[in-house]
Chain A
Amino acid sequence: MRLPRFEYIEPRTLKEAANALAADSKGSVLLAGGTDLLVSMKQRVIQPKRVINLKTIPRLAYISNGKEGLRIGALTTLHDLSLSRTIREQYPALTEAAKEVGAYAHQVMGTIGGNLCQGNRCRFYNQSAFWRGVRRLCFKAGGEICHVVRKPKECHSTYCGDLAPVLMALDSRIKILGPHGERALPLKRLFTRDGKRPLSLKKGEVLKEILIPEPSGKTLYLKWRLRGSLEFPVVSLALHIEKGTNGAIEGARIIFSGVGPGPVEALEAEKMMVNGLLDEEMIEKVSDQAVREISPMRTSIHSPAFKRKIAGILLRQALEQMMKS
């Protein structure tokens, strides 16, 4: 499958990239690792007029410890993340998540920024032009209907990123650069939960940096897929728990991937945990609650009921691991 024709731009600074993007935000795409973008382009899911390559911009790939925590440049590759000693020592769950993306070459090519900003996925959307031509054009691809849920003008595609749950569990913030300057926001606000436009980036905005606060508490990442490699998570889970000196839980974050139009945080389940003790009873209660807060759809070959089941099992496993440690 050949790539469609496009104009190719190599900006020298991020500002230049942002301006180029703003000049034609609908017809332009940003290229980072390319493992998501180029597949979509080959399949003609997107046919941009212009490709703006971020990789030729210097100093966008870094991992540096500062006083607010760890700063990671958006162009840092997943492979570099997984090799970083700092990350392995301070945020081992992030190392794990990076090592679970695709396979070796995907990790070498893929970047943290690209991984966070990857497109939502759907079995009716991430297919070739021929395949999609068998059915009516779906809403996400520019048509009127959704093949997952037969309602017009709604898209139920699924967010399947590995890193977002962990980084959200770590309470990360992101720095975004646009034509009008920089802004910072909590990572979770990057995601709109709108399948058609899953990211909240405004016209010309580019993800520049990820900030992870000083390590505290304990974080786990568990990913479930059929085979031990290559696949996106069928369901994955990041769990973060902070305990007080008396052993009571002071804060918890439960974030899933693969079960909604963005990373899904089980807020009610999190609340249930606060001030409690991590025991069998709580594990039962919390995992039952959490699966009520997710909304898996039939966007992959796995059934929603099964995804829900696995989500519960993953959370139970993670909580048990936390209890034992």
Chain B
Amino acid sequence: MNKFNVVGKREPMLDALDKATGRARFTDDLSLPGMLYGKILRSPLPHAKILYVDLSGAEKATGVKAAISGKDIPKKKYGIVPMAKDEYALAIDKVRYIGDEVAAVVATSLDAAEEAISKIHVDYEELPAVFDPLEAMKPGAPIIHDEVPNNVSATIRKEFGDVEKAFAQSDFIFEDTFETQAVNHCPLEPQAALAMVDHSGKVTLWSSTQIPFFLRRNLATTLDIPESMVRIIKPKVGGGFGQKIDLYAKDFCAAFFAMKTKRPVKFVYEREEVFTSTRQRHPMHIQLKTGMKKDGTILAQQFKVVADGGAYNSTAPLMITLACFFIMLPYRIENLLFEGFHVYTNKPVGGAMRGHGIPQVRFAVEAQLDTIAEKMGIDPLDLRLKNAFQAGEPHPAKLLVQSCGFSDTLIKAAEEIGWKEKRGKLPFGRGVGLAGASFPSGVSNMSHISSGAVVKIERDGAITLLTGAADIGQGAETVISQIVAEELGVSLKEIRITAADTEITPLDPGTFGSGVTLRAGNAARIAAQVAKEKLFEAVAEKMEVEARDLEAKDHRIFVKANPEKGMSLEEAIKVYQYSDRPMPIIGRGSYQPPAKEPTTLLKEDGNFSPAYSFMTQAAEVEVDTRTGKVKVLKMVTAHDCGRAINPMLVEGQLEGSVVGGMGQALYEEVITEKGQVLNPSFLDYGIPTAMEVPPITSVEVETNDPEGPFGAKESGEGTQLSPAPAIINAIYDAIGVSFNSLPVTPERVLEALQKKDKR
């Protein structure tokens, strides 16, 4: 029974009708009088010194208002992780991958801008390039950034327990190597930015960003102006999945040219640029050694992970750290050694993508667990259940897991896929598989990872909510509004929300690390509580009761113990006004995820997330053993997301995430040859179409997390960790081949079947 009025309801997104009618405005939908259009010239070479950039041809072209190259911009490096800044908005000294930004122009029309960039001449001195991260780590490999002579730009080494001893005590040891591919996020909206500068020099930038406040900081840095001189507004954003976390040349160039020309400037990327010159999921090379006891206990795991970072860092240190930390859940592994390396290559740049460093390693663990189960004669489900982490257990890395529905997700996913009847019992070519995972709900204990909110109770009873949260299509604004509506006892339609404008809305770290609902939701809830308390004070005084005995619900304020005794919200507001209290009735909330065990994530051990979600994905597949094509017949996703604030939106998150995971299992790979992306289009890069999608069953495993707003935790991002291994394990069940690399294309299936026949 839902004891809430708004929380837990399947409410449509607040902006759904705007999006269904074409009224919703994305960055590229905006234009300003006198606006100029920009284009970027990109490097055709994977690694080269820039000797000379001749802009004169472009500058002379009709309609062109300005042209710049790297030498025209402030020599300020940026990067999403402060300790790993390694990128200029336009390349200054040299280019490091095909697609690296070299120069840019603005013109009075897009036609003119496109034509003009072909008139820029660049002299390069080509340098030896390196494309394989294992090669790049070897002595003597070409050096991509002078500051990093071994090309290893981020590392992590963590050990818990005594790994060596644990392996010595193991009854069985398994060692495998896994490879994962580069994956593009493919948001349907290509990256875009529109900038305007006022007379004081203040820059306003509308950007397809999922992280406005960080963008403000990075943009100010690259422009070399104070942060207060930059305002970022996030219009509707057409999907991000992590790709819109970074600052891109389009943001810098729009702002820089707007400052230079005193005219509004817009830059929009082509789909090809999204593929070659934004971010992608890091390909990884993973060596995994697992020690098992006869009874199925995982005694120890040892990882050596090499991530192909491409030409720049982006989130490198964070990514490799997350890969490490999230391998410590959802199983109990007392002895664990993780060594991770982020390596530069002359290729497109790796960055945050749904799951952020974890799906790759998760794939290795989950695929290996199934082969271990087979060799040890244990059911893969039982093996997982035996090692499943439980709430409240001490964790070797001091993670504090207060709620954990992992075992439940395993059992329910298995039930739903028909595990008992099907696993190992289907005809050759058909199979079922499952895989588990865990994900944080944001990161604790870093003050810049705080959220603020303001809630104003208006004279007519409507509620104004200001939040910095960046809705990129997941429905954050709706969910946060539901939280506020619930807290104030009003309906969702009473909430007027303004979000993600760095000048108007309070600080928020943005959409990453699955912390939005928890962080911004808690901040908004606190703000609502503060506003409510102010109102309660006045009402309590008038009714001669204690404020703490009051409750707000159904648009009324009343005495909890005697609901008849109360008044409407409008009356309450009047009471407040006539009590000579100051208007407006306003509540402010700031929320920083607490950390009972202090950690800085990158440097110290300890609990680093306020809450952890748990999930299991299960798949049933059919392999056409003649053509090698794998058809997914059914997917099940069982997710412990705490309490779902909006179950319909949670389902939408899960379904979309599962299909993305399917793409990574079977269809998607950014293929490069000598650093050139061979398939930078939707024709050749196969994101799933509606034809590929099987029935998907979402099983909610509700827990009530003490830290989440109304008990809510992450949903949707962690879901993308294990569809791929679930499918790979189902293929293993179907044809007895365990794949160690992704994606499993028909070509690879046929090769594997042939090899198997020969044996």
Contacts and interface: CB of A to CB of B under 8 A. Distances in A.
Interface string B39-56: 000101100000000000
B51 to A, nearest CB: 18
Given A130-B44, A301-B671, A227 B678 contact: no
A306 interface: yes
Interface in B84-116: 98, 110-111, 114
Interface stretch (B155-163, B679-687, B701-709): B679-687
B626 interface: yes
Nearest to A309: B750
Interface string B682-696: 111010111110000
A301 B684 contact: yes
Contact of A227 (B111, B270, B692): B692
Contacts of B44: 130, 133-134
B750 A306 contact: yes
B612 interface: no
B689 A227 contact: yes
Contact of A228 (B98, B118, B627, B689): B689
Given A123-B678, A130-B272, A313-B627, A227 B750 contact: no
**Main SS of the interface on chain B?**
loop
A135 B673 CA distance: 12
Interface string A216-232: 00000000101111111
A2 B747 contact: no
A230 B629 CA distance: 17
Interface in B654-703: 667, 671, 676, 678-680, 682-684, 686, 688-692
Given A228-B689, A230-B682, A230-B689, A2 B745 contact: no
A229 B746 CA distance: 16
A22 to B, nearest CB: 30
Interface in B459-498: none
B251 to A, nearest CB: 21
Interface string A1-40: 1100100000000000000000000000000000000000
Interface residues of B, number: 32
Interface string B267-302: 000101000000000000000000000000000000
B691 A226 contact: no
Contact of A134 (B98, B118, B689): B98
A102 to B, nearest CB: 9
Contacts of A227: 667, 686, 688-689, 691-692
Contacts of A123: 678-679, 684
A226 B667 contact: yes
Contacts of A317: 626
Nearest to A306: B747
A229 B750 contact: no
Contacts of A228: 689, 691-692
Contacts of B676: 131, 134-135
Contacts of B42: 130
Interface in A111-162: 123, 127-131, 133-135
Contacts of A230: 682-683, 689
B114 A131 contact: no
Please indicate which of the listed interface residues A127, A130, A301, A303 has the most CB atoms of chain B within 10 Å of its own CB: A130
Given A131-B676, A231-B683, A301-B679, A226 B272 contact: no
Contacts of A303: 747
Contacts of A130: 42, 44, 272
Given A226-B667, A309-B750, A128 B691 contact: no
Contacts of A1: 114, 270
A134 B124 CA distance: 13
A302 interface: yes
B680 A131 contact: yes
A303 to B, nearest CB: 7
Nearest to B751: A306
B695 to A, nearest CB: 15
A134 B688 CA distance: 29
B627 A226 contact: no
Contacts of B680: 127, 131
Interface in B2-56: 42, 44-45
A128 B272 contact: yes
Contacts of B691: 227-229
Nearest to A133: B44
A227 B629 CA distance: 10
Contacts of A103: 689
Contact of A313 (B98, B626, B745): B626
B114 A2 contact: yes
Interface in A150-186: none
A136 to B, nearest CB: 11
A309 B626 CA distance: 9
Interface in B377-395: none
A2 B689 contact: no
Contacts of B272: 128, 130-131
A160 to B, nearest CB: 11
Nearest to A147: B673
Contacts of B747: 302-303, 306
B686 A310 contact: no
A110 to B, nearest CB: 15
Contacts of B750: 306, 309
Given A226-B746, A228-B692, A2 B626 contact: no
Contacts of B682: 230
Please indicate which of the listed interface residues A1, A131, A224, A310 has the most CB atoms of chain B within 10 Å of its own CB: A131
Contacts of A129: 118
Please indicate which of the listed interface residues B626, B671, B682 has the most CB atoms of chain A within 10 Å of its own CB: B626
A135 B98 CA distance: 11
Nearest to B747: A306
Interface string B203-221: 0000000000000000000
A129 B680 CA distance: 13
A134 B671 CA distance: 16
A227 to B, nearest CB: 5
Contacts of A131: 272, 676, 680
Interface string A227-258: 11111100000000000000000000000000
A226 to B, nearest CB: 5
Nearest to B685: A301
Interface in B732-759: 745-747, 750
Nearest to A3: B111
Contacts of B671: 301
Contact of B678 (A128, A224, A301, A310): A301
Contacts of A127: 680
Nearest to B112: A2
Contacts of A224: 627
B129 to A, nearest CB: 12
Nearest to A312: B626
Contacts of A306: 746-747, 750
A2 B110 contact: yes
Nearest to B99: A130
Interface string A258-289: 00000000000000000000000000000000
Given A128-B272, A134-B44, A227-B691, A2 B111 contact: yes
B309 to A, nearest CB: 21
A293 B716 CA distance: 50
Nearest to A5: B111
Nearest to A307: B747
Interface string A286-325: 0000000000000011110010011001001100000000
10 contacts: A1-B270, A2-B110, A131-B272, A131-B676, A226-B667, A228-B691, A231-B686, A301-B678, A310-B627, A317-B626
Interface of A: 1-2, 5, 103, 123, 127-131, 133-135, 224, 226-232, 300-303, 306, 309-310, 313, 316-317
Given A2-B110, A131-B272, A134-B98, 6 more contacts: A2-B111, A123-B679, A134-B676, A227-B692, A229-B690, A313-B627
The 4 A-B pairs at the shortest CB distance, nearest first, are namely A228-B691, A134-B44, A229-B689, A306-B747
